[in-house]
Amino acid sequence: MTGRRGITRRSALGVVASAVTALGVGGRFDPVFAGATFGDAKPFASGDVEAIARAMASKAFMTPKSVPKEWLELNYDEYRDIRFLPDRALWRGEDRSFELQLFAPGFYFQTGVMIDVVENGEARPLLFNPDLFSFGEVVPDLPIEAQLGFSGFRVHGAINRADYKDEFLVFQGASYFRGVGKGQAYGLSARGLALKTADPRGEEFPLFRRFWIEAPSAGDETVTVHALLDSESVTGAYHFKITPGDETVMDCASVLFPRLPLDHVGIAPLTSMFLFDHKLAKRFDDFRGAVHDSNGLAVVNGNNERLWRPLANPDRLQVSNFLDTDPKGFGLAQRNRRFGAFNDLEAAYERRPNLWIEPGEGWGEGAVSLVEIPTDEEINDNIVAFWRPKTVLEPGREYRYTYRASWGNAPEPSDTMASVSTSAFGLHSNGSRLAVIDFTAPAVGRVPAAELSHDIHVIRGEFLNAVLQDNDQTGGTRLAFSFDPGVSETVELRAQLRRDWRPVSEVWLYRWTTAQQ
């Protein structure tokens, strides 16, 4: 097999041409973009992806072909030294709103993904071409063939400046994708679907096998992506309409076709990293005060009750389920926006986006699930949140879910309800445990502590005492309470501020463990 350094552009195109028949995409090439090579155009409509997924679900799962072992054996530095050439981005230099760049396969990305460009009702598959990439000196010789496909893509648009297109969206790896709002840095990820997360049977990772990306026109404010999902248990068709801006908003629609009964499925799954904050800093010998992409799970449930659950890096796997019917929204949020809290010039954790999910109609009964996985390294995504339907998704049926995913600062604080800014734990002078929660004042203004009461629940422990104070340093309200865990290793805590027994704050929830002593 031919090595990369022995290939010229002309010979590489010959290799690509010889493999087109195997891909089933015809033999016509159109290098409209420098280095980009296309297969034959075929008619395309958005319903085609759904038809493909439905047909695939009626057949046994076929394991996708792996890329050659030489690509899989690349180490981190070698893979990172294969870079897409920006001047060869699709639609570069044209009067279009967006540009498209591609990722090579290999390293962690074991299977190639097909990517089609859709325009004027026709889809043309992009074929792998080494001329799209620069290969650094540390990259070994690699076999080149059209069947390689890509590992994903990224989209650039004028999100921060009108005269420059910044990257704001990435699809790469399994069914993962990420976005940012204006002025933000990449942080947490989303997935098309989660299957058996934290299940003793082992997690299953569906793959986006093929994408169809609609070519934008001049002045378009949105980019549209269609995706085909496939795994041993399920196939699916996805439609994403993405609008970048202060908040990058994705309107998502999916239809799932189970091959097998799905009894542990996660809809609109989010994946993030939480290593430590001030609550857990004593566990880490680190100059930084906190390390996390997100620091809490926010939920607005079907009764319009606002919940805030600070994240933890537990000493053992934790799963929390917040039962609900037709939730209004949920997401992982980064509420701490102060550089001084992190003190990290490179990671810029204070600029990581929130990701807020607003479900469409008909989600029914289920639970917002939060999975917290122990980790000692910030490179590991150890937080997962998703909607888990109550009912089993059965083969032979179709399941549709629509939702809006907003990358930015959503959800906005309530105008009338105080929200949690920080919470901390310590030893009380009487030997019990102390929880201290600071609430920010809502837009309508702070209610004096003297006019407030508290609603506190301690499960598997004993509530002892509580104090409410005006916090003049923050302009909000502080609630401090003590509890005795007794012999319990975990204690479930719930607290809310009330005025005349009416809620005036969101609900603070936490699972305290003996590891925090």
Mean pLDDT, contiguous 10-residue spans, the chain (517 residues)? 33 36 36 68 95 97 94 97 96 94 96 96 94 95 87 97 95 98 97 97 97 94 98 98 97 98 98 94 91 98 97 95 97 96 97 98 96 96 98 98 97 93 92 96 94 97 97 97 96 97 96 84
In the prediction, which pLDDT does 33 show? Answer: 53
292 closest CA partner among 382, 386, 424: 382
Q: What CATH architecture does domain 4-258 belong to?
A: Distorted Sandwich (2.70)
Instruction: State in Å, rounded, how far the first CA of the chain is from the last one.
Output: 60
- CA dist 36 and 147 (Å) reads 15
Instruction: Name the one residue in this structure whose structure tokens are 């893509």.
Output: 153
| pLDDT at position 36 | 74
Domain ranges in the chain with CATH number 2.70.98.10: 4-258
Six token digits for residue 39:
């297969």
Q: Decide if 98 contacts 165 (C-beta within 8 A).
A: yes
Contact at 8 Å (CB) between 170 and 157?
no
3-state secondary structure of 372: strand
Tokens 């041993």 appear where?
Answer: 232
Tokens of 14: 């010959």
Ranges for all domains in the chain classified under CATH 2.60.40.10:
419-516
pLDDT score of 10: 30
Please say whether the beta carbons of 248 and 169 come within 8 A: yes
Angular region, 332: left φ>0, alpha ψ -120 to 50, beta rest: beta
Question: Tell me, what's the pLDDT at 509?
Answer: 98
Alpha-carbon distance of 226 to 238, in angstroms, equals 6
* Beta-bridge mates of residue 228: 210, 237
- CATH number for the 419-516 domain, one of 2.60.40.10, 1.10.10.10, 2.70.98.10, 3.10.20.30? 2.60.40.10
pLDDT value at position 3? 37
Of 123, 115, 119, give the one whose Cα is nearest residue 209.
115
- Number of neighbouring beta carbons within 10 Å of residue 89: 22
3-state secondary structure of 32: coil
Task: Report yes or no: 236 and 256 within 8 Å, Cβ to Cβ.
Answer: yes
Neighbours of 402 (CB within 10 A): 17
Q: Give whole-number Cα distances, 488 to 46, 460, 491, in Å.
A: 54, 6, 7
> Quick one: the chain helix, strand, coil %, rounded to 5?
10, 45, 45
Q: How far is it, in rounded angstroms, from Cα 64 to Cα 164?
A: 38
Assigned token pair, 431: 């030997």
Question: What pLDDT is attached to residue 517?
Answer: 67
Cβ atoms within 10 Å of 503's Cβ, excluding its own: 16
Question: Which stretches does DSSP call E strand in 343-501?
Answer: 354-359, 365-372, 383-389, 399-408, 419-427, 433-440, 453-459, 462-471, 476-484, 490-499
Can you tell me the distance from the alpha carbon of 312 to that of 374, in angstroms, rounded to the nearest whole number? 9
For the whole model, what pTM was predicted? 0.92
Place of tokens 């190639």: 112
CB count in 10 Å sphere of residue 202: 7
Helix (H, G, I), strand (E, B) or coil at 464: strand
Using CA atoms, how far apart are residues 297 and 274, in angstroms rounded to an integer?
A: 11
Distance of CA 106 to the CA centre of its chain: 22
Provide the token pair at 217: 């026109």
